[in-house]
Chains A and B, each alone.
Chain A
Amino acid sequence: MTSKIDNNLKTKDMKRKPWFIKPSTKENLRQYWYKFSRNKLSIIGLIIVTISILFAIFAPVITPYPQHVREYVDYSSAKLAPNSEYIFGTDVYGRDMFTRVIFSFRGALYMTVIVLSLSVPVGVILGLLAGYFNGTWVDTAIMRVTDIFLALPPLILALAIASVLEPNMTSSMIAVTIMWWPWYTRLVYGMARSLSGEYFVKNAELIGASKAHIIFREILPNCLSPVFTKMALDVGWVILMGASLSYVGLGEQPPTPAFGQMISDGSRYLPDLWWLTIFPALAIAFIILGFNFFGDGVRDMFDTGR
């Protein structure tokens, strides 16, 4: 009798597709691409995302003056308006703005990767636990704590946490991570809760599958596409949050450039040195817009309805 159940489990496991893409045949990949590319804006988003990532990786190669991201002063070339040599102009210390803007992509994307790769797993696991053990003390404990974090405007909580720590990049990443996980917990909680009442979960329980198996092999795969969608849509928000923190001086410290910090410094020299503010602002708009278009495309891609 037991061996029969084991056999059943085995065949079921063997049939299971890789967890990240449900049916990973060529046909399905093509379908995903079709759904993603139906909207022209998603393609534009993909292009912007690719460019941003390339900027971030190859910043020292593509920028003309990589030494300008460190302490560097050359008053002979200071405060130059955009021209053929310095296409974004130079700042008050004579540093090339183009170089500094491109290097800021690095910090922004680095922060996004760290924040999402720390907060998403934590949020998802807590959401799975609370959703599967719904109605028990696990559910209550996790979800009440989540409610508290969600009861404050995100930026304010991040500002408060970053302000009591040392003002640097690590602190701002810690602050944003701490306020980011609850959104994933709430997202996954709802799905895990309704999935835990489904027949396939009940069946797995009946044949004696372990709790870990049920949570991670039965429930988790069915929650992944909304999580990926949210991650794609969140990149723009993390960058925005990082820029807001660095705008008030709680993020990356000078001389390392960051979008918010450059806008904040540049706005002191308005309107004469307008290029110090406008180009970082355009860069933020570019990267946030690109990731939003891309995120919308990812959402269309996983959208099974209609």
Chain B
Amino acid sequence: MTILKITYLWKGVIRLLKYLLKRLIQGIFVIIGISILIFIISRIVPGDPARMALGPSAPQKVVDQLREEMHLNESIPVQYVYWFKGVLSGDFGKSLNTKRPVLTDVLEFLPATLELAFFAGLIFIVFSIILGLLAARYRDTWVDGSVRVLSYAGIALPSFVVAVLLILVFGFTWKVIPVLGRLSNGYHVPYITGMVVIDSLITGNLPAVGDAVKHLLLPAFALAVGPLFQEARILRSSLTDNMNKEYVSVVTGYGIPKSVIMRKHLLKPSFIPVVSVMGLDFASLLGNAFLVEKIFNWPGISKYGMNAMLSKDLNAISAVIIIIGLIFLLVNIIVDLIIASLDPRIRLGGN
């Protein structure tokens, strides 16, 4: 019996690994595709990249030299190959704004965005599950009703509007939470991972942890509020849909208590639609971070990317987009794996 069970599990694991490998190979092609796309976009822009890098006062001879160095005299596909070779070895070129290698900038600013995105993701995952379960449990009561109304507010208010409103409330009238930046003056946290909360935890600087989390709250809430209530709604409706299915009446007929049915038979299948929406929402969260980070003056890669876009800093734009594409790809693979492990039809092969 146990041997059977082990082989059964083993088969599942092998299938998951094969699936993972397939997704990774697909992902590599998608990233190459993104790099081609972003290269094309960055070459649409009128003007000479070498001239833009050196400024209008540079002598023509220097510009010509840089054109030669940047392979700008070659054909576009050849230029792409040179550029992509550089990207593979981590060389995205120099940023026009900061005059430093783009990779240095990206590595410096990426942790702040990851910290914010993960914190916002954590907020909407935890609270949407809690609210969704509550709304399904207390169906058609005021709990359900208020989740519904709030989900409409989440649709109607874009995150940059929420961010501006939060600044209006907490920055001017009710100053209990710090509004801008990552840490208050007077706190000093050494750079280890770049994520202030984790760094201050490692060094055991508890007041700094509190301060960093306080700074995270508002931008993370601005990013999370949209998806939060909508996911709670989706979880609620998939739970109530599944409650009416035949298999639930069958197990109820066997006299199995309601709490056990909820835990063992309802939760898993009901989570499938929510998890796939969460993946999409995480993507739009990364997009919205471009505006929200700028509003809250959060020194992350999205604010860096936004500034790069506004000043047409092409190397920086390309690097930021490729990095975001990579993060999005990883999130998608994780989401697919979670769905595969929730859904026996995918986990055990077949379609």
Instruction: Point out residues on A near B: beta carbons under 8 Å.
Output: 144-145, 147-149, 151-157, 159-161, 163-165, 236, 240, 243-244, 247-250, 260, 263, 267, 270-271, 274, 277, 281, 284-286, 288-289, 292
Least CB distance from A285 to B in Å reads 4
Q: Which of B36, B41, B168, B171 contacts A161, CB < 8 Å?
A: B41
Q: Does B185 contact A (CB under 8 A)?
A: no
Q: A240 to B160, alpha carbons, bound, how many Å? A: 10
Contact B329 A159 (CB under 8 A): no
Q: Which of A156, A240, A243, A249 contacts B290, CB < 8 Å?
A: A156
The count of chain B contact residues (Cβ–Cβ below 8 Å) is 50
Contact A163 B155 (CB under 8 A): no
Q: A155 to B289, alpha carbons, bound, how many Å? A: 10
Given the contacts A160-B317, A163-B309, A271-B168, A148 and B33 also touching, CB distance less than 8 Å? yes
User: Could you tell me which residues of chain B, from 148 to 176, have a CB within 8 Å of some CB in chain A?
Assistant: 152-153, 155-158, 160-161, 164-165, 167-168, 171-173
Q: A286 to B306, alpha carbons, bound, how many Å? A: 28
List 14 interface pairs A-B (beta carbons < 8 Å), by A numbering: A148-B33, A153-B287, A154-B284, A154-B287, A160-B317, A163-B309, A263-B160, A270-B167, A271-B172, A277-B168, A285-B153, A285-B161, A288-B155, A289-B155
Contact A163 B158 (CB under 8 A): no
Contacts of B325 in A (CB 8 A): 151-152
Contacts of B324 in A (CB 8 A): 152-153, 156
Contact A289 B30 (CB under 8 A): no
Q: Mark B275-295, 1 if CB is under 8 A from A, else 0.
A: 000000001101110110011
**Chain A, residue nearest B44 (CB):** A164
Contact B167 A248 (CB under 8 A): no
Contact B156 A289 (CB under 8 A): yes
Q: How many A-B residue pairs have CB under 8 A?
A: 125
Contacts of B329 in A (CB 8 A): 151
Q: A245 to B309, alpha carbons, bound, how many Å? A: 12
Contacts of A145 in B (CB 8 A): 33
Given the contacts A151-B328, A160-B309, A281-B165, A243 and B158 also touching, CB distance less than 8 Å? yes
Q: A160 to B325, alpha carbons, bound, how many Å? A: 13
**Chain A, residue nearest B33 (CB):** A148
Least CB distance from B156 to A in Å reads 4
